Amino acid sequence: MGQSESLRRDKFLSVLERDNLDGYLIVDPCNVSYLTGFQGDDSYLWFGDVGACLLSDSRFEEQIKEEAPDVGALIRFSGQTTIGLLKRAIADKTFSSALPKRIGIEAASASVSLFNSLRNDFPDVEFVPCLGDVEKLREIKDEGEIKAIRDAIDVTIDAYLYVKKTIESDATEVDIRDELEYRTRKLGGDGVAFPSIVAFDDRAALPHAIPTRQGRISDASMLLIDWGAKKNGYVADMTRSFLTEKGLNSTSGNRSYRAKFNEVFQIVRDAHDASIESMKPGVLCNEVDKVARDVIDRAGYGDYFGHGLGHGIGRVVHDSGGLSPRHNEPLAPNMVLTVEPGIYLPGWGGARIEDDVLVVEDGVEILTRRLRVDE
């Protein structure tokens, strides 16, 4: 807390200079936290050309002193408005050297109502919709962020191994999800990164299947689990697909199912391994996606891999950046991304393998390597 956020705010000043802005209003709670260390909500960050100021309310006054002691703050009380605080911040020479005329605002997070209020209350100011400026900074992690992601991954793996070892034969998808999320907290996670995905058999053909109470693991031939812990403000995201005890037994019907699963799983694994092998600084994100997509295309399953190969992770599970046909920026050291090829066959099932990787100077480090892809 403190030094890293201060450095981030210093970097963000270049955005104002680049876009000829006199100030910037940060409204996304995740971005407010990234730039200040403050973990609360319902608060904005005014970013002038001289300094930054949190615009919050009395519920968070003491929390701001504790979490963001080096950031100015204006606190609203009952009957006051955030717009009123912004007027005070804009006029304060502590934060702005002169009255701003062009102010950037996060277009993806600001409501139409807020935007209209700002234009009505500040008729002499041009509010400029901006996209992805803080998110772009968040793509490159510092040492503290990488450690936090490693810690979240450790909890993620430990919870999975515990549940896989102890789950009872009559467990439903919901039972497995609930036990996994409980164990995540029990083992030190602050919570889960996203609602866990647990899918038996043909429901694994739904990439974001919502767990149900239908069916039992003892009756299922395969299982897909996509889960992740959140710890110290950062997240992990993993997926594993595997045959159950029933899927592994030797009856003739299961031999056929097992052969099909092994075929699909191996193709996904080949795509996973080839794409990771291709990753290093300077390689374009969409080129990495193409490596995996080509493997699956050549195997005849190209129509059954519809999502991107991966996404950035950090403070949120879908952080800025990613591996997909539409991402054409180059990889850079200290990016952390998922690699998650999958094949989804309606009426049969699917397989996905997802690992979290850190881009380093000469390639990548698989942060989730402790859990084998077939485990």
- Tell me the CATH number at 98: 3.40.350.10
In a domain, 372, yes or no: no
Is 251 a residue whose pLDDT tops 90?
Answer: no
Note whether 101 and 78 are same-domain residues.
yes
The whole-number average pLDDT for the span 47-56 is 95
Q: What are phi and psi of 250, to 5 degrees?
A: -100, 15
In a domain, 9, yes or no: yes
Asked if 44 contacts 82 with a C-beta cutoff of 8 angstroms, the reply is: yes
Note whether 165 and 304 are same-domain residues.
yes
The whole-number average pLDDT for the span 165-186 is 97
User: How many beta carbons lie within 10 A of that of residue 111, not counting itself?
Assistant: 9
- pLDDT at position 79, please? 87
Q: Cite the DSSP H helix spans in 238-338.
A: 245-248, 252-278, 285-298
> Residues, the chain, total?
375
Cα(315)–Cα(228) distance, integer angstroms = 12
- pLDDT at position 1, please? 47
Q: 137, 155, 189 — which closes off a domain? A: 137
Q: What are phi and psi of 317, to 5 degrees?
A: -75, -25
- pLDDT at position 252, please? 65
In a domain, 373, yes or no: no
Note whether 133 and 149 are same-domain residues.
no
Note whether 22 and 149 are same-domain residues.
no
Is 276 a residue whose pLDDT tops 70?
Answer: yes
**pTM score:** 0.95
Residues 72-125 have pLDDT tens digits of: 999 999 888 999 999 999 999 999 999 999 999 999 999 999 999 999 999 999
Note whether 305 and 349 are same-domain residues.
yes
Angle at Cα 349 formed by Cα 347 and Cα 354, nearest 5°?
150
- Residue whose C-alpha is closest to residue 6's, from 102, 103, 135, 142: 142
Note whether 46 and 174 are same-domain residues.
no
Is 250 a residue whose pLDDT tops 90?
Answer: no
The three-class DSSP label of residue 9 is: helix
Q: 359 pairs with which residues across the strands?
A: 364
- pLDDT at position 348, please? 96
Note whether 119 and 180 are same-domain residues.
no
Residues 316-331 have pLDDT tens digits of: 999 999 999 999 999 9
- 135: tokens are 């998110």
Is 219 a residue whose pLDDT tops 70?
Answer: yes
Cα(134)–Cα(139) distance, integer angstroms = 9
> Would you give the DSSP letter of residue 330?
B
CATH of the domain at 195: 3.90.230.10
In a domain, 371, yes or no: no
- Residue whose C-alpha is closest to residue 286's, from 241, 254, 246, 331: 331
Cα(232)–Cα(322) distance, integer angstroms = 23
Alpha carbon dihedral 363, 365, 368, 370, in 10-degree steps, equals 120
Note whether 217 and 314 are same-domain residues.
yes
> Would you give the DSSP letter of residue 203?
G
Q: At what angle do helices 82-91 and 112-121 cross, to 10 degrees?
A: 50
Q: What percent of the chain has pLDDT over 90?
A: 95
Note whether 212 and 321 are same-domain residues.
yes
Cα(107)–Cα(128) distance, integer angstroms = 8
- pLDDT at position 160, please? 98
Asked if 331 contacts 279 with a C-beta cutoff of 8 angstroms, the reply is: yes
- pLDDT at position 159, please? 98
Cα(192)–Cα(237) distance, integer angstroms = 10
Quick one: pLDDT band at residue 254, thresholds 50, 70, 90? confident
How far CA 71 is from CA of 26, 42, 91, 276, 374, in Å, comes to 14, 17, 17, 40, 47
Q: 104, 137, 170 — which closes off a domain? A: 137
In a domain, 203, yes or no: yes
Note whether 108 and 72 are same-domain residues.
yes
| Structural domain count, the chain | 2
Compute the half-sphere exposure of residue 155: CA atoms within 13 Å on the CB side of its CA.
29
Note whether 202 and 255 are same-domain residues.
yes
The parent domain of residue 302 ranges over 143-366
Compute the half-sphere exposure of residue 177: CA atoms within 13 Å on the CB side of its CA.
19
Is 353 a residue whose pLDDT tops 90?
Answer: yes
Tell me the Cα Rg of the chain.
Answer: 24
Residues 136-156 have pLDDT tens digits of: 999 999 999 999 999 999 999
Q: What percent of the chain has pLDDT over 70?
A: 99
Q: 137, 168, 188 — which closes off a domain? A: 137
Q: Roughly how many angstroms between the first and final C-alpha of the chain, as a whole number?
A: 37
Q: 343 pairs with which residues across the strands?
A: 351
The whole-number average pLDDT for the span 285-301 is 98
**Mean pLDDT rounded to a whole number for the chain:** 96
The pairing of beta strand 102-106 with beta strand 23-26:
parallel
Taking the CA atoms of 121, 123, 129 and 135 in sequence, report the sign of the dihedral they define.
negative
Note whether 155 and 232 are same-domain residues.
yes
In a domain, 355, yes or no: yes
